[in-house]
Structure 1
Amino acid sequence: MSEIRLYMFQSGTQRCKLHDIKMNQGCGVDHEIPVPWFLLTHPKGHVVIDGGLAAEGLADPRAYWGDAVDAYQPVMREDQGCVAQLAALGLAPEDIRFVVLSHLHSDHSGAVGRFPPATHILQRRELEYAFTPDWFAAGAYIRQDFDRPDLSWQLLEGESCDDYDLYGDGVLRIIFTPGHTPGHQSFLVTLPESGAFLLAADAVYTMDHWHEKALPGFMTSAQDAVRSVRKMRALADRAGATLVPGHDAQVWPGFRLSPAFYD
C-alpha cells in the first residue's frame, strides 16, 4: 500500500446536546455527532491523523473518561478503534510512520502511543496546555492517553512553522488553527486524482461554524476560533479544497468511508 490515498474512518459517535456543538442553538436538544479520523498512505510512510476515541475506554467509560461521559457519551464498539480498523485494511501498528494530531481532546487522541515507533506530530503549546488546562477544559483531556514517556514527539511552534509540509511534496500540509484549543492544527491533504481536502478537525465543528452562523459549543478563544475559520476559508478557496468539518452529522455521511478511499 504505497499509493497516495486518503481513508476516512469513524470511531463511533458521541451523544451530546446540540448547544454543545452550536453555541446558543437548540439548548437541551439531544444530538449525536460522528467521531472521524483519517489515514493517509504515502510512499514515504503512512500517517494516522487523530485516531478517534481510545478503544481501551469502552470496558468502563466512566473510569477512563471521567465525568465527561455525562456530556459526551461514547457510542462505539471495540472494532471501531483505530488499531482494529487499520488491521482490517491489512496494516499493523509498525506500518505507521507518523501520528499527526489536531489536538489532544479525548475524541482525537485515540491513536497516541498505539503505533510504536511512530513520530507524533503536535503543536508544542497544545501539549503544554494538555498537561495544565484551564478548569473548564480539563475534562476534555485524558492524561493516560498522552502522558507516555516513551513517545517520540515532533513539536511544531505555532505561527513560526505554519503551513508545515510533512513530506516536502505538498501532499500533507499542517495549518495552525488555534481557537478550539490553544494549539489546534488542521490539515490540507492534496491527492493526485481527487484533489485537495481540508481536514478542519475541531477548528470547524459544523458548516454553521464555517459560514459564521454559530460559534462552536467549546473553545478556549472565540476570537482565535473566528480568525482560524477565516484563514481556512481563504486557504480552501486558493486550493480548491473540499472542507471536511470535525463533527457535522449532516455532512459526514456524504464522504466515502473506509474501506473506500480517495486517491
Structure 2
Amino acid sequence: MKLNFLPAGRLRMKKSIYVSGADRSETIDLPVSSALIRHKQGNVLFDTGCHPSVVDHAEARWGTLAKVMKPLMGANETLLPSLACVGMEPGDIDIVVNSHFHPDHCGCNQFFRKATILAHAKEIEAAQAPGAEAAGYLRADWDYGQPIEALNGERDLFDDGSVVLVPLPGHTPGTLGALVGLDRDGQFLLASDSVSLRQNLDADTAPRNTWNVDEQLKTFAEVRRIERAGATVICGHDDQQWKSLRKGSEGYE
C-alpha cells in the first residue's frame, strides 16, 4: 500500500483564527492537501481540496467566504494536476473520503464521478440544515448529485485494518480522520481540521472557527492517544509540517 500527499490549494487567512493572541492584522498561509491511498482493493482520496475555478474567480465560487480565506495558488497547485503527477486520473479513484464539507476539503468532488463518496452522517445533516451556507457549507462544492454514503462510527475501509476512518468531531459536527497503516513507514493519522495546526494540539486550544469547543478538546485528547500509540499526526493546514513531508510522486509505503 502507498500513501501520497498531493497539493490541492493554498489559502491566506487571519492568524488570529488559529493562534490566540495574534494581532488581527496578521495573516497566515495555509497549505491545502489531499492524500492518495493506493490499496490493492482500490484507490482512495482523502479530501479533494479547492475547486480550480477559485484560482481566478474565488468570489464567484465562494461568495463572501473568499474574503475570509483567500486563495493563493496557481492552477498547477490544485488537485487534478497533482493527481496527474502520480500518473492518475479522476476515473482511477474508487473512493473519496471527505473529512468534512468545507470548500477547501471537498471542492473537487464533482470530478470523481466513478467514486463512492463517504462522509459522516452528522456532516451530511449539518450541510443540509437551514443556514448551512452561512456556516461554510457551499452546495456547489459538496453536492453534485453523487450518492454519498453516510458513516455513523468508525469504518475499516478494506476490512484489514490498513485504512480506518475515525470520527473526530469539533471543527464541524462530522469531521472524520483516517488512520493509515503502512508496512515500511508506519501509521499516519490524517487528522484534517481536527488538528488544523500542530500548535493547536500542543496548546490544547481550539481555533476560533471551531463548531463545538468541548467536542474539539475531546478530539484533541483522542488524537494524542492515537499519537502515543505510534501514529504520525498529519495536520490539516500546518505549513511547517507540510514543507517537511514527501509530496507528489515521492510518497510513503
TM-score (norm 1): 0.91
Are residues 1:184 and 2:184 paired?
no
Which residue pairs with 1:252 in the alignment?
A: 242
Which residue pairs with 2:6 in the alignment?
A: 9
Q: What is the distance in 2 between the residues matched to 1:71 and 1:133?
A: 21
Which residue pairs with 1:209 in the alignment?
A: 200
Q: What is the distance in 2 between the residues matched to 1:18 and 1:91?
A: 35
Q: What is the distance in 2 between the residues matched to 1:202 and 1:134?
A: 21
Which residue pairs with 1:144 in the alignment?
A: 140
Unaligned runs of 5+ in 2: none
CA contact (8 A) 1:66 1:139 kept: no
CA contact (8 A) 2:9 2:79 kept: no
Q: What is the distance in 2 between the residues matched to 1:207 and 1:197?
A: 14
- Worse-matched range after superposition: 52-61 or 221-230: 52-61
Which residue pairs with 1:65 in the alignment?
A: 62
Q: What is the distance in 1 between the residues matched to 2:43 and 2:236?
A: 21
Q: What is the distance in 1 between the residues matched to 2:114 and 2:169?
A: 28
Structure 2 letter corresponding to 1:46: N
SS of structure 2 residue aligned to 1:126:
helix
Which residue pairs with 1:156 in the alignment?
A: 151
CA contact (8 A) 1:23 1:215 kept: no
Which residue pairs with 1:111 in the alignment?
A: 108
Q: What is the distance in 2 between the residues matched to 1:109 and 1:212?
A: 28
Unaligned runs of 5+ in 1: none
Distance 1:246 1:133, change over 3 A: farther
SS of structure 1 residue aligned to 2:109:
coil
Number of equivalences: 253
- What does residue range 1-263 of structure 1 map to in structure 2 within 5 Å? 4-132=1-129, 138=134, 140-149=136-145, 151-157=146-152, 161-162=153-154, 164-238=155-229, 240-263=230-253
Q: What is the distance in 1 between the residues matched to 2:247 and 2:71?
A: 20
The Cα shift of 1:79 comes to: 2.2
Q: What is the distance in 1 between the residues matched to 2:52 and 2:93?
A: 18
Superposed CA deviations along residues 104-150 of structure 1, whole A, max 9, x for unmatched, are 00110123121121000000110121122657x7252221112222x
CA contact (8 A) 1:180 1:202 kept: yes
- Worse-matched range after superposition: 22-31 or 242-251: 22-31
The Cα shift of 1:175 comes to: 0.7
Identity of aligned residues (%): 30
The Cα shift of 1:213 comes to: 4.6
The Cα shift of 1:88 comes to: 2.4
Aligned-residue RMSD, C-alpha:
1.6
Superposed CA deviations along residues 157-201 of structure 1, whole A, max 9, x for unmatched, are 1xxx22x11011111111101110011111111101000011110
Q: What is the distance in 2 between the residues matched to 1:148 and 1:114?
A: 9
CA contact (8 A) 1:17 1:27 kept: yes
